[in-house]
Amino acid sequence: MPRYALQVEYHGAPFAGWQRQADQPSVQGAIEDALAKLEPRAHTIAAAGRTDAGVHGLGQIAHCDMEKDWDPFRLSEALNFQLKPAPVAILNCARVSDEWHARFSATERRYLFRILMRRAPATHQAGLVWQVKHDLDVAAIQEGADRLIGNHDFTTFRSTICQAASPQKTLDALDVERFDTMGGPEIHFHVRARSFLHNQVRSFVGTLERVGAGAWSPDDVSAALNARNRAACGPVCPPQGLYLAEVTYPEAPFAQ
């Protein structure tokens, strides 16, 4: 059966997350339903990461196995037609080897988190950012973020329902920058690692927001990390500002 890599963009608000669920809408379910309209049978796709309810995808990668030898462009066009009106789009499609796997072949995942700083309610950005009503100190946030870089036991920043075999992970980058936009000032967190624990990025951002607000110091971030205790984590931020931005592979499946 020919295997195809899919680059997927989606707005997470209407979905209970990426993973297919029996009684709630999911991104995986929407794509599998669309595939079933093209080839009537049960379809199961795999993804680079399982995003939670409300989390968005800019560059999620999945793969599917088809019976027909589809032209990749025609497959993406057909899927986009069948996905309407769900806020899910197939940005790219490519034929890959039978051994290629969206999850296990990936070498790095990149997440973006957006915080909007303004008192007026968000309108155009609603559901796409975490809104806070106070200004945040970006330099202090970056200093706290730097304490998390490297290989650590991230138990403190791991959900209690995380199914990963070990809390030991290597965080490659956590870069913070401020943007002054027409809608108000935003802070963007750019996070890179080979893999992540459940709720790890949202735990980082929620904790670092406290540093930016002056309630925590960067030293408090180090102390929380070293505690290896979930109770030492700061507040876990909401999912609306989180995006799975990019997934990288030894050979880019969509290279022209």
Catalytic residues: 52
Is the omega angle on the peptide bond into residue 85 within 30 degrees of 0, that is, cis?
Answer: yes
Pairing of strands 3-10, 56-65: antiparallel
- Cβ density class 159-171: b for 16+ within 10 Å, e for less: beebeeeebebeb
- Cβ density class 132-149: b for 16+ within 10 Å, e for less: beeebeeebbbbbbebbe
- Cβ density class 80-99: b for 16+ within 10 Å, e for less: eebbeebbbbbebbbbbeee
Query: Which stretches within 161-217 are classed as H helix?
Result: 200-212
- Whole-angstrom distance, CA of residue 256 vs CA of residue 227: 47
- Whole-angstrom distance, CA of residue 176 vs CA of residue 91: 27
